[in-house]
Structure 1
Amino acid sequence: MDAIYRLGIDIGGTFTDAIVTNGEGQVVAALKTPSVADAPEQAIFHALEQLQARGIDTGKIDLFVHGTTLGVNTLIERNGAVTGLLVTKGFRDVLEIRRLRLENTTNLYGDKTLPLVPRHLVKEVDERLLADGNVLRPLVPEQLLKAVDELVQEGVTALAISFLHAYANAEHERQAEQLIRERYPQLFICTSSAIWPQQREFERTLATVMNAYVGERMGSYFNRLQAGIGQYGVEATLLSTMSNGGIMTAARAAAEPVRTLLSGPASGVIGATYIAEQAGIFQVVTFDMGGTSVDVALIDKEPAYSTENQVGDFPVIIPAVDVTAIGAGGGSIAWVDSVGVLKVGPRSAGAKPGPACYNRGGDQATTTDAYLHLGILQADRFLGGQMQLFPDLAEQALRRLGDQLGLNATETAQAILDVATANMYAQFSPLMARKGVDPRDFTLLAYGGAGPMHAFLMAREVGIRRVLIPPSPGTLCAMGCTVANLRNDFVFTYHKNSSHLNEAELAGRFSGLEQQGRRWIEEEIRGGVKPERIYVIYSADMRYEGQAFDMEVTLTAEEIDLPVQAVAKFHALYETVFGISQPEAEVMFVNLRATIVGVLPNKSVAASQPLAFSDKPIEVRRITFDGRQYEASVLGREQLPFEERKSGPAIIEEYDTTVFIPPGFSIYRDANGNMIGEAE
């Protein structure tokens, strides 16, 4: 029987990763190719060419899932569409006022974030809904279209519509959208009631504006990609990963790109969850270090999710895997500030010009240059020998930087690693404290191109005693694409006191959310995706009456039918988190939520055989670390014995990454092909 493949692709800021699994779920190919910032699809086409060169019949790909940073980069770089915004009369400054919170509470002179839509492109419409959804003032079509005419004359090509209380009644927004589409079919239009119908006017409006701002560019990208993959015989439905760790059709992603903004990091966490589960490890801190940043997430059997995420300068209310950026990446540039202190990041050399050792025009020292100079990276075996590094260029960059610090090149390289690790620790420790966990109870699961190289240094600093390196760690985000399920979130703002609940009404609201989810699944199935089973997760945002912040409580069908049980569950959760509860107090049901999940069949499994260096003999390399010289064993993953520990210092070289095990740790390989490092 002919092999049927799954292709997962993750487009990062520096590299685009691709991984292919066969019908038995085994990894048959993994590769990395430089990303193309101006045309991300070109890197995918290059990856398909390389896969064909390796003997992969791309015409037999039956599932093609990919994640891209195009949306988030568009927001950060502010190069999206000229976007207009329609709001209810009297609320023109919703994006200007924001939440009136200081971005940095220690800086009273911080600059205000500039909105994506300037004030002159925000138009008021004289319509009004009450908080219960009843109409106070109807929509006047002539006035609406006059406002849109003015925006089009200003050059607007994308339009966001966010009327007051549209979460309670979407009729005015639907009327407006229909009228505008009839007159201006070329406009990219989206409404807040379709994007995320939740109370919280600023966040709802902002999510809609972000969707409009990046939508035109994302739609064009998906069209170019869909047209281009046909040249390589790929007929599979093009799918995109989502911020919540799920997947959806690219056509849907083009209409709702705001749901994909954090898809890259989310894919990595989904892949890490799968790997950890296979290894029988259920408490994990992920450590994803790429060329630009380090992202961490907590997994306690399941990934943590959040509705308080941040993309660049903007909060995002739509649920996403809870991932936090804590530091610099392998391409982060080292520099000296005005008072002579060494800094690393946040600016990155990216793929072009890249670190100095890439010989692509970059002349500033980076973390990668430091690793190369210390002997931890090998110049002629980077990316499996496909990319040559230049140690002399790295040394020159380090020496120039060291002259400002009074250090030689080797001392400067070590200082860069120390500062990068200290930066991560300074952000990692308070993050774990806020989440109420002791990281020493968790395993550090490292991936990304640079993650395995730096993970043990981070573990040593934090006090984590076990590190897990999965097979093909440099492409784990791409692998996460192949094991993700259809998943989408739906919300309804309820805002009812527990003493005034109508049990039938509550159950009916949840049933309505479930029906929305099942309709969404049906549409995705018509798009070519076929789940083997479907289930729904229910939850409610709850709080004590008079409080300002909610807690999300997962609910069973029985607890929905008997709200008194749901209230008791809230009291118990509140006491677990805060050490106190108020059983006599009234509880508010603020938002009702339903998450629909369509489980795809035949998930991938970890590769049982190494992807590269299977014939490379063991060698010994002289390295410098912590100011001392060592003889470090260099070997491939397959040369690690099962369950038999090898002490550091050691270097494991693979196609997509290099693993550095410093003194004080030992490492072995488990039955799934994972490398497990433990403190001695």
Structure 2
Amino acid sequence: MNTPRPSAEPAPARSAAPAYRIGVDVGGTFTDVVLAAADGSALHTAKVPSDAAQPAAAVVRAVTGILERHQVAAEQVEYFAHGQTFALNTVLQRSGARTGLLVTAGFPDLLEIGRLRLRDPIDFFADPRRPLADRRDVREIPERIRIDGSVDRPLDETALLAAARDLLADGVEALAVVFLHAHAHPGHEQRAVALLRQAHPGLIVAGSAELWPEEKEYERATVAVLAAHVAGLLRGYLGDLSHRLREQGLSCPLHITKSNGGVMSVQGALAADEGSAALLRAAVETLLSGPAAGVAGAVRLATAAGVDDLVTMDMGGTSVDSAIVEGGRIPYSTDAELGDFPLITPSVEVSSIGAGGGSVAWLDASGVLKVGPRSAGAHPGPACYGQGGTEATLTDAYVVCGYLDPDTFAGGTVRLDPAAARAAFAPLARRLGTDVEGAAEAVVDVATAMMHAQLVPLLARRGVDPAGCRLVPYGGAGPVQAVALARALGIRHLLVPWSPGTLCAFGALVTDLRHDLVAPVGQTTGHLDDERLRTVWKDLEERARLWYRDQSAVLHDQVALTRWADVQLAGQSFTLPVTLPGDGQPTVAALSEAFTARYRAAYGVDASGRELDVRSLRITLTARSRPLTPRTGSGTEVRPRPHTVTEHGHRVPAGRVERADLAPGVRFKGPLVVSAPDATVFLPTGACVEADAMGNLLIDAGRARGKAD
């Protein structure tokens, strides 16, 4: 299904000067920016320190800096998109608005009970998950609608308003309303939200049904509380960012990346009234925007290079996030977790699989070497940064082993101190009974083993043979560790993006508009008819197109709609996502046929002829962004400079080169250190590398020394 870009959104006037696009990723330590000519003829990157107190200030500093450096006028920028960890960090630190929860009388412990699952199934003394809305901030409201829609108890409006006044007087700053069965019968909840917004103008009031009308009371309540907790701060951040960028002369549309791997208009959220559904949805939908943008960027680059099956590896300072991509399609999940909280809104399926570059190495009580999860953080950071850190970290291990070039690390902006790294490893080496190099290499091996141990089950559950995949490492530390991990997994070939340290910013720049909607059904195929399917999907389609018309879709004019459903066998409790073809009218017969094929593929069982239970219908709108293929410099046939690295307990001669000097088609063999301002690539003995026409590095991992071919 395709629709033209609406004429109500005129394209901005353009001068004869070349047009540019900007992508930004706001991380906890650095804010990354990518400036790209619209025709792909020029690509520039930069990093500036993030500002936790004023994240928008760091974004503006990065944008204005890169524009000035490359003599690009603000009027030449036709598109701006950015990802951020602001909302995510707000939730993880629980630093948003104190949120009160209004629930159906009799269900005050909704968040505490959750799904009655232990955090650790073999530890009966594990601390329970702590809800985002404190139990003292929960109020029971006399009302109840049965699952069939009949009213068991009318909404007590007087009690509702009294409960809200009581919470606000006690210091609560936002409210979430979650009534039983509101996903299917939202009348009481809608009335309650309207009364509260009328009585308290400007107050953030999140209704669960208007945000995400899906069954599962606990998960739906979590969505509402998350939205209320974050929305006010997010609105302030987006308003500040928009004002600052406009002051600098950027008149182009502004976008923010979403957890589902798409982007949305910043103006769309800001134009809405405070506390409206549009703002509240934006608060929830942008919680995982940073990692999602990275996967989107990796898929876009890999597809342009002819790679459809890949494993992404985003390794930063504290963790490694990975996604398994098949057929060039970004993987999605409706069962993600965000710290202690379930997230049922669609998001890119990313798994945290190990330690990051700042993770501290230590010995447990049994003398077993561990890496992480504790991190040295940005301050004091690894010992080699010279900022006062004294504990041995994975980055220090890279320095001791020679995998990083102290002279060119981070483009020379960070001077590494190898002596400090060695001093940090000395106590650990003594306890292990080895030298400093041996201890450092052991730490690298442990980190590889941790990533391998967590990635293998993920690949197995998806039925993916790693030998048929390409590993795509990015982030500041990913390319250093990547070949070791690839060898452990049995992956022979790697693709290192042209700028792995800023790939999330590039992903924000090239990703599509995307919007997801859901509607409850809750009927078996014995009662569900074609007309009900068509009516529900038609309503979802109309709402999706209304959302699209509110977006600044200048560069996203090819729209597609995908129909899918959550279906299970009647009597079962777990659904499978079933997608229907976009052409033709949806029917129960077509849905049953699609489910049968999906069930057979998942479980190896023929479910044809069985009665099905259709729990919900969904629709996804995507609007493809105009292509942007990077074309970098041609490089030179440079001769590597002499260097030394540690391999298998021995110091061996190696080389070191600048990534910008690698000419397409010229191969170099390891051991080799390839440096760049954003990230370093380490090639051990037996591996080789060459650059492609887009500036990506194509690596053949070869075989580890001592292993037969």
Shift of 1:452: 1.0
Superposed, 1:334-483 pairs within 5 Å as 334-483=361-510
SS state at 2:596 partner: helix
Question: Residues 79 and 121 (structure 1 numbering): CA distance in 2 closer, same or farther, change over 3 Å?
Answer: same
Give the whole-Å Cα distance in 2 for the aligned partners of 1:379 and 1:15. 20
Given candidates 513, 516, 519, the residue that maps to 1:489 is: 516
Contact kept, 8 Å, 1:134 with 1:169, in 2: the verdict is no
Which residue of structure 1 aligns with residue 342 of structure 2? Answer: 315
Given candidates 155, 159, 182, the residue that maps to 1:166 is: 182
* Greater Cα offset, 409-418 or 259-268: 409-418
Given candidates 106, 119, 122, the residue that maps to 2:122 is: 106
TM-score w.r.t. the length of structure 2 is 0.92
Superposed, 1:547-558 pairs within 5 Å as 547-557=572-582
Which residue of structure 2 aligns with residue 537 of structure 1? Answer: 562
Give the whole-Å Cα distance in 2 for the aligned partners of 1:225 and 1:236. 13
Give the whole-Å Cα distance in 1 for the aligned partners of 2:357 and 2:75. 35
SS state at 1:185 partner: coil
1:674 aligned to 2:700? no
Contact kept, 8 Å, 2:562 with 2:582, in 1: the verdict is no
Which residue of structure 2 aligns with residue 604 of structure 1? Answer: 628
Give the whole-Å Cα distance in 2 for the aligned partners of 1:378 and 1:557. 52
SS state at 2:40 partner: coil
Give the whole-Å Cα distance in 2 for the aligned partners of 1:94 and 1:498. 31
Which residue of structure 2 aligns with residue 11 of structure 1? Answer: 26
Given candidates 610, 617, 641, the residue that maps to 1:592 is: 617
Question: Residues 497 and 619 (structure 1 numbering): CA distance in 2 closer, same or farther, change over 3 Å?
Answer: same
1:274 aligned to 2:300? yes
Read off the aligned partner of 1:591 and give its amino acid letter.
S
Which residue of structure 2 aligns with residue 630 of structure 1? Answer: 652
Give the whole-Å Cα distance in 2 for the aligned partners of 1:113 and 1:557. 41
Read off the aligned partner of 2:52 and give its amino acid letter.
A
Read off the aligned partner of 1:330 and give its amino acid letter.
G
Give the whole-Å Cα distance in 2 for the aligned partners of 1:398 and 1:175. 63
Shift of 1:81: 1.3
TM-score w.r.t. the length of structure 1 is 0.95
- Measured on the aligned residues, the alpha-carbon RMSD in Å equals 1.9
Which residue of structure 1 aligns with residue 353 of structure 2? Answer: 326
1:250 aligned to 2:237? no
Which residue of structure 1 aligns with residue 275 of structure 2? Answer: none
Contact kept, 8 Å, 1:652 with 1:658, in 2: the verdict is yes
Deviations 1:209-244 (A, max 9, x none): 111112222222222222222343223333110000
Contact kept, 8 Å, 2:637 with 2:661, in 1: the verdict is no
Shift of 1:45: 2.9
Shift of 1:644: 4.6
Shift of 1:49: 4.0
Question: Residues 617 and 15 (structure 1 numbering): CA distance in 2 closer, same or farther, change over 3 Å?
Answer: farther
Contact kept, 8 Å, 2:642 with 2:656, in 1: the verdict is yes
Read off the aligned partner of 1:12 and give its amino acid letter.
G
SS state at 2:166 partner: helix
Give the whole-Å Cα distance in 2 for the aligned partners of 1:477 and 1:639. 24
Read off the aligned partner of 2:671 and give its amino acid letter.
P
Shift of 1:569: 1.6
Which residue of structure 2 aligns with residue 141 of structure 1? Answer: 157
Shift of 1:428: 0.9
Contact kept, 8 Å, 1:67 with 1:240, in 2: the verdict is yes
Contact kept, 8 Å, 2:101 with 2:133, in 1: the verdict is yes
Shift of 1:170: 2.6
SS state at 2:551 partner: helix
Given candidates 45, 50, 64, the residue that maps to 1:30 is: 45
Shift of 1:118: 1.2
1:219 aligned to 2:244? no
Give the whole-Å Cα distance in 2 for the aligned partners of 1:614 and 1:187. 60
Read off the aligned partner of 2:311 and give its amino acid letter.
V
Which residue of structure 2 aligns with residue 157 of structure 1? Answer: 173
Shift of 1:654: 1.4
Contact kept, 8 Å, 1:71 with 1:261, in 2: the verdict is yes
Contact kept, 8 Å, 1:559 with 1:565, in 2: the verdict is no
Which residue of structure 2 aligns with residue 283 of structure 1? Answer: 309
Identity of aligned residues (%): 41
Shift of 1:592: 0.4
Question: Residues 322 and 61 (structure 1 numbering): CA distance in 2 closer, same or farther, change over 3 Å?
Answer: same
Contact kept, 8 Å, 2:636 with 2:663, in 1: the verdict is no
Which residue of structure 2 aligns with residue 198 of structure 1? Answer: 214
Question: Residues 57 and 191 (structure 1 numbering): CA distance in 2 closer, same or farther, change over 3 Å?
Answer: same
Question: Residues 521 and 402 (structure 1 numbering): CA distance in 2 closer, same or farther, change over 3 Å?
Answer: same
Deviations 1:329-362 (A, max 9, x none): 1111222223322211112222222211222232
Give the whole-Å Cα distance in 2 for the aligned partners of 1:482 and 1:14. 20
Give the whole-Å Cα distance in 2 for the aligned partners of 1:367 and 1:33. 23
Question: Residues 178 and 501 (structure 1 numbering): CA distance in 2 closer, same or farther, change over 3 Å?
Answer: closer
SS state at 1:92 partner: coil
Which residue of structure 1 aligns with residue 8 of structure 2? Answer: none
Give the whole-Å Cα distance in 1 for the aligned partners of 2:638 and 2:201. 60
Question: Residues 53 and 411 (structure 1 numbering): CA distance in 2 closer, same or farther, change over 3 Å?
Answer: farther
Which residue of structure 2 aligns with residue 569 of structure 1? Answer: 594
SS state at 2:119 partner: coil
* Greater Cα offset, 426-435 or 201-210: 426-435
Shift of 1:53: 4.0
Shift of 1:71: 1.5
Deviations 1:383-406 (A, max 9, x none): 211222222222221223333333
SS state at 1:302 partner: coil
Read off the aligned partner of 2:657 and give its amino acid letter.
L
1:621 aligned to 2:643? yes
Q: State how many pairs are aligned.
A: 675
Shift of 1:581: 1.9
Give the whole-Å Cα distance in 2 for the aligned partners of 1:453 and 1:293. 14
Give the whole-Å Cα distance in 2 for the aligned partners of 1:633 and 1:278. 30
Which residue of structure 2 aligns with residue 652 of structure 1? Answer: 674
Read off the aligned partner of 2:286 and give its amino acid letter.
T
* Greater Cα offset, 9-18 or 468-477: 9-18
Read off the aligned partner of 1:182 and give its amino acid letter.
Q
Give the whole-Å Cα distance in 1 for the aligned partners of 2:201 and 2:130. 29
1:71 aligned to 2:98? no
Which residue of structure 1 aligns with residue 10 of structure 2? Answer: none
SS state at 2:57 partner: helix
Contact kept, 8 Å, 2:316 with 2:476, in 1: the verdict is yes
Contact kept, 8 Å, 2:313 with 2:321, in 1: the verdict is yes
Give the whole-Å Cα distance in 1 for the aligned partners of 2:370 and 2:691. 36
Any gaps of 5 or more consecutive residues in structure 2? 1-15, 270-277, 703-709
Shift of 1:139: 2.1
Deviations 1:250-269 (A, max 9, x none): 25285331111111111011
Any gaps of 5 or more consecutive residues in structure 1? none
Give the whole-Å Cα distance in 2 for the aligned partners of 1:367 and 1:288. 15
SS state at 2:591 partner: helix
Shift of 1:617: 5.9
Shift of 1:77: 1.7
Read off the aligned partner of 2:429 and give its amino acid letter.
G
SS state at 2:572 partner: coil
Read off the aligned partner of 1:410 and give its amino acid letter.
E
Contact kept, 8 Å, 2:483 with 2:701, in 1: the verdict is no
Question: Residues 132 and 608 (structure 1 numbering): CA distance in 2 closer, same or farther, change over 3 Å?
Answer: farther
Deviations 1:2-51 (A, max 9, x none): 12221111122332211111121344210122323333223213312431
Read off the aligned partner of 1:577 and give its amino acid letter.
A
Read off the aligned partner of 1:455 and give its amino acid letter.
A
Which residue of structure 2 aligns with residue 662 of structure 1? Answer: 684
Contact kept, 8 Å, 1:13 with 1:350, in 2: the verdict is no
